[in-house]
Structure 1
Amino acid sequence: MTQRLDGGAVLVVAKEMDPAADLVVDELSTLQMPVMRFDMGDFPQGISLTAEHTVGPWSGPLTNDLRTVRLEGVRAVYYRRPRLPLITDAIAEPHYTWAVDQALAGLLGTLYALPVLWVNRPEVDGIASHKPVQLPVAARSGLRTPRSLVTNVPQDARDFAASINGPLICKPLMGGPLNYEDGRRNGVPTHLINPNDLDHSVGLTAHLFQEWIPKAHEVRLTVIGRKMFAAEIHAGSDASRIDWRSDYDSLTYKPCEVPDAVRAGVLRWLDHFGLNFGAFDFAVTPDGEWVFFECNPSGEWSWIQNKTGLPIARALAELLAGG
């Protein structure tokens, strides 16, 4: 028997094994806020949707094996990397792919239309996640950014390296690991580049090159609404000094304050995209200047909360509960 949730429920749309979503659900429960958590991968086989439109927003029940929520009673949506809908194998191609698209449009399209708070709307998240989009917006927002080049032209890469006349790095243009045939998944780290190695392989795909920023340490800045939670990340190995994601075991952390100018720039950046959450990465130079590297609009944050005690999950729950 399913439990009917009344009084303005929060939808948490995430994979079953997601520690960040777990923390948010726990905090919402502490706030005595009705919550329905589900993964879009369970639709349509394990979730039912009946949405009706007359002149206002969609209304009707959304139900899984535990709970039922009325769409017109939803307060907010926390959307965090769910799976795509999973259709029964009884449907063969080409109708299988068509049915997946229908399920996605039916469920996500209906949720899109709800006039509620999102953290974050996935279509905005997708646009804002690309580094070539992020960097000019950051500069216009008053944040310092590294000199950067996106190219697939080897000679242009060599010319850029010569103009830098100093250390050069190459980093992925967007997140996502490599998937190997044996099932391993491994991220592509930022790495230092020897300009003499810029050969024809640059032409095989787009590359992002940047000047190396000397740094005393780095900062992960997690922003929820208008609240900011910043932590210094101090590298303890050569690999982590280039990319701290390369050696988590060597890192130490310390909560820190955000300079007023950086705070204002970050809020302008989020407002530009219409985001309610962002996980920002900054370098802090030996002179104390903050340099914007990137923002992940659906970035991980549970690990930094566990390492520092920063109340990130609580702030997310309070934002969602406010609706």
Structure 2
Amino acid sequence: MTDMGPVLVVTNLDNPMTDLVIDELHGRGVPVVRFDSGDFPATLSLAATVTSNGIGGTLSTPTRTADLSRVRSLYYRRPSGFAFPHLDGQTARFAVTQARYGLGGVMASLPGCLYVNHPHRIGDAEFKPSGLAAAAACGFRLPEALRAYLDHFRLVFGAFDFAVDRQGQWWFLECNPSGQWAWLEPETRLPMVVAMADLLERKTA
């Protein structure tokens, strides 16, 4: 895996859970480029082209540059929205739309990239009625139904919420494709940060 490119982490500035995963990746020597899409274009720049091999070009932050053709994975977790406060209302709305289509479109089309999760799939899965309908269709017999649910929305990660009644029956509440999970690691003593880093590194046994 040493010849693979960086992991892109798209998130807001204050995200302690993401910090844990980045620290784990750094400890493995995996290159990471972290940015908030809301920083575009003030401190985040993009130069991209479409070729026969897909998207190429570079994405640059004040301290890092990523080759878009070599991104191994992208961890997408609640970045801030685009903002153009120096523009009037109508022009700002136009700029936000174009930034979403431009930067957002490039980030959603990286060749050979593993998305955790793909931003379009996150959008699909965040509609709670759709999630409940998918859960009902899956039957939610654990653990097979978890995999079926993720497959339904084409997700590779989900934070599932359940309630357990007095009879021990599990009841599905929701699946958050960008949900919190790091707080469970001390409680369960399961290596969740390591597992997420394995996924983003695209580590194989």
**What's the TM-score once normalised by structure 2's chain length?**
0.91
Instruction: Give yes or no for contact 1:14–1:81 (8 Å, CA) kept in 2.
Output: yes
1:96 and 1:265, CA in 2 relative to 1: closer, same or farther beyond 3 A?
same
State the AA in 2 paired with 1:99. Answer: A
The offset of 1:49, in angstroms, is: 0.5
Q: Secondary structure at the match of 1:58?
A: strand
CA contact (8 A) 1:44 1:86 kept: no
Q: Which residue of 2 aligns with 1:87?
A: 84
The answer to whether residue 69 in structure 2 is matched with residue 77 in structure 1 is no
Q: Is the 8 A contact 1:19 1:302 kept in 2?
A: no
Aligned pair count reads 200
CA deviation after TM superposition for structure 1 residue 301, in Å: 1.3
Q: Residue 176 of structure 2 aligns with which residue?
A: 296
Which residue, 97, 101, 104 being the options, matches 1:105?
101
Letter in 1 for 2:22: V
Q: Does 1:271 align with 2:178?
A: no
Deviation track 1:61-105 (CA, whole Å, cap 9, x = no partner) reads 11011100110011110000001223361x323212111211121
Q: Does structure 2 conserve the Cα–Cα contact (< 8 Å) formed by 1:87 and 1:96?
A: yes
CA distance in 2, matches of 1:307, 1:86: 38
**Residue type at the aligned position of 1:136:** A
Name the structure where strand makes up a greater proportion of residues.
Answer: 1
Give the 3-state SS of the residue equivalent to 1:267 in structure 2.
helix
8 A contact 1:10–1:77 mirrored in 2: yes
Instruction: Give, in angstroms, the shift of residue 273 of structure 1.
Output: 0.7
Distance 1:28 1:301 in 2: 17
Q: Which residue of the partner structure matches residue 312 of structure 1? A: 192
Percent identity for Structure 1 against Structure 2: 45
Unpaired stretches in structure 1, ≥5 consecutive residues: 1-5, 144-260
Q: 1:203-282 counterparts in 2 under 5 A? A: 261-282=141-162
Shift of 1:306: 4.0
Q: Which amino acid aligns with 2:192?
A: I
Cα deviation, residue 136, structure 1:
2.2
In structure 2, runs of 5+ residues without a counterpart are: none
Structure whose alpha-carbon radius of gyration is higher: 1
SS of the equivalent of 1:50 reads: strand
User: Closer, same or farther in 2 for the Cα pair 1:23/1:285, shift >3 Å?
Assistant: same
